[in-house]
Amino acid sequence: MAQTEKKGGLLRKSSASKKPLKEKVVLMYDEVFTTEDPSKNNPRFWEELFLMKVNLEYLEGKLEALDGEELMKIKDNINCLFQHCIQALGEEHPIRVVNALQTLCALIRGVHQKNKSTSGFDIINMLVGFDKAELCMKNLMESLDSLLCAEGSESLKSLCLKLLLCLVTVTDNISQNTILEYVMINSIFEAILQILSSPLSRREHGYDAVVLLALLVNYRKYESVNPYIVKLSIVDDEATLNGMGLVIAQALSEYNRQYKDKEEEHQSGFFSALTNMVGSMFIADADEKISVQTNEAILLALYEAVHLNRNFITVLAQSHPEMGLMTTPTSPIPTTPVTPLGTTPPSSDVISSAELPLDADVQTSNLLITFLKYSSIVMQDTKDEHRLHSGKLCLIILTCIAEDQYANAFLHDDNMNFRVNLHRMPMRHRKKAADKNLPCRPLVCAVLDLMVEFIVTHMMKEFPMDLYVRCIQIVHKLLCYQKKCRVRLHYTWRELWSALINLLKFLMSNETVLLAKHNIFTLALMVVNLFNMFITYGDTFLPTPSSYDELYYEIIRMHQNFDNLYSMVLRISTNAGQWKEPASKVTHALVNIRAIINHFNPKIESYAAVNHISQLSEDQFCSSCDL
């Protein structure tokens, strides 16, 4: 007997003399795609359809093959199929429910894809019909809510979440997805929270639940009242918030682990051996090849949680007590549509493993540490537009954290010291820091390290002005807290001062190129004001009196940069032009720094002349200035 091969919904005989046979479900689909009522000759048509295994490829292919006019002709049958899918969700037989969920996914995605090319029909009308839309969508959301909250099959819950993600992500702009109005009216917020608060459900479905919530929160968030925003902002259940934090931490940890694995693989490979022989001139190019797909969906979820819910701030500092956050599902999950773009969950190897081990020298970790490590990787390469946006979102999240009073309290807490191993961009003029030499310090030191690292490593032709502005703002907010609360942080401030001065030098050196694209005076003013803050209020937050000596030493040592900056802004502010006013502001802001330079420079020059010294050390500088 000839063997049978299944392909594209056809049962093909190996003998060429006979016509290929179609699966029964495919024949039934063909009946739906006619103008006749498929149940006219077979009253049990819909009951039988949902007992058949769904052929997603064939169903979506049929929808894709039709043009807008042809699709409108079979609208009644499409509406009927959609409505019977919703009815099947209430069936006790799980096979019917699974097949109905998958069919709904195919319909929603297929009709939306068709609408991208021919926008001559309304999505809601095509799927369900205007006259029955409100009732049908209400029934759909209620059925999904019941399935998500029930004690039943985890596979069904997974499919429900996949259907909802499919519904939310079918349009490029979520706010243009009008069908989500029904998801706003018939909220599934409590079902999502229930998943996050239960350890078992969270292991199985936590990632999809968190991504779904983040997407729903962004639906027309600035145009109308979004109930998901309101509800998320007032969540105070500790188990739910901790659950959300654990899911986000796991996803970010997985990214960090993948990057570290690739980095180690790269360093131990052929290229590493080659660079050891010929020198380090190609190190930067080599490390640019280390690329792991970023996870904007989970980053968006973290932003919304930090931005909207002040109670979530406490989750940032809590350690990860739960092991095995994600494990292999105990029940098999039926074939589901492809995960929507940008919502890729952690890979299967981490899903089946225990929670990622912490660094060898760190006894504990928390979500903030994991996020800082993630940010240090993503922010290394901003030449790619995708990573540029990721880096921007990281800085926005850090801005939210730096603005929060409670977050600042634990960031600066001397009793909460951690060893945070940030990733640093390979550069020819510096060696890679040894991980084991990292000291345990308050978390704010890691935030400042990350900001200094960004400032030092992104002075380039395609200057990321927006990211630099946000970076300086974060430093400013942290200093404001230290000044207000008189927190004397033992930090190597000289590294920050040096980075800021070099940034000013870069802005001046590339004045013509940068002014064609950016208002560099806004950034220069922010940098100068940071120095003014240290000069004026440093006695309230600098750790020791000698810190002031170091500050003055750096200003005097690099005085040529401040002199050049003053000359530049004075030149521009005295001429009529679009930069006259912003340049003038920088001129006024330089008063303190110029006063210090003008006061101490004559003393230094006199001391150097008397002692026949061309370059003063820091101790000699202090002696010459009587500091």
Return the SS3 of 139. Answer: helix
- Please provide the DSSP assignment of 146-178 as one string: HHHHSSS-HHHHHHHHHHHHHHHHSSSSGGG-T
Nearest to 538 by CA among 604, 585, 592: 592
The H or E element containing residue 619 is helix 618-625
Please state, in angstroms and as integers, the Cα–Cα distance from residue 345 to each residue in 12, 243, 250, 339, following that order.
37, 16, 10, 9
Which pLDDT band holds residue 292 (cuts at 50, 70, 90)? confident
- How far apart CA 421 and CA 360 sit, in angstroms, is 11
- How far apart CA 68 and CA 59 sit, in angstroms, is 16
Give the pLDDT mean for 546-554: 89
Which pLDDT band holds residue 436 (cuts at 50, 70, 90)? low
Mean pLDDT lowest for which of 65-69, 262-266, 282-286, 613-617?
Answer: 282-286
The confidence score (pLDDT) of residue 160 equals: 96
Total-model pTM: 0.85
Which pLDDT band holds residue 622 (cuts at 50, 70, 90)? low
Query: 171-196, pLDDT tens digit by residue?
Result: 888 998 888 999 999 999 999 999 99
Which pLDDT band holds residue 324 (cuts at 50, 70, 90)? very low
DSSP-derived pairing of the beta strands 10-13 and 417-418 = unpaired
pLDDT more than 70, % of the chain: 79
Give the pLDDT mean for 139-162: 93
Per the model's pLDDT, the better-predicted residue between 584 and 267 turns out to be 584
User: Where does the chain hold its CATH 1.25.10 domain(s)?
Assistant: 24-188
Nearest to 88 by CA among 47, 58, 59: 47
In the chain, the amino acid numbered 291 is: S
- Please provide the DSSP assignment of 401-459 as one string: HHH-HHHHHHHS-TT-EE---------TTSPPPPGGGPPPEEHHHHHHHHHHHHHHH--
- Pick left, alpha or beta for residue 342 (phi over 0 → left; psi -120 to 50 → alpha; otherwise beta): left
Query: 385-429, pLDDT tens digit by residue?
Result: 888 899 999 999 999 999 999 999 999 999 889 999 998 887 665
CATH class for the domain made up of 24-188: mainly alpha
Sign of CA dihedral 430, 431, 432, 438: negative
Return the SS3 of 256. Answer: helix
DSSP-derived pairing of the beta strands 441-442 and 417-418 = antiparallel
User: For the CA atoms of 388, 391, 397, 400, what is the dihedral angle to 10 degrees?
Assistant: -80
Residues 6+ apart with CB under 8 A from 294: 255, 378, 386, 387, 390
Residues forming a β-bridge with 6: 11
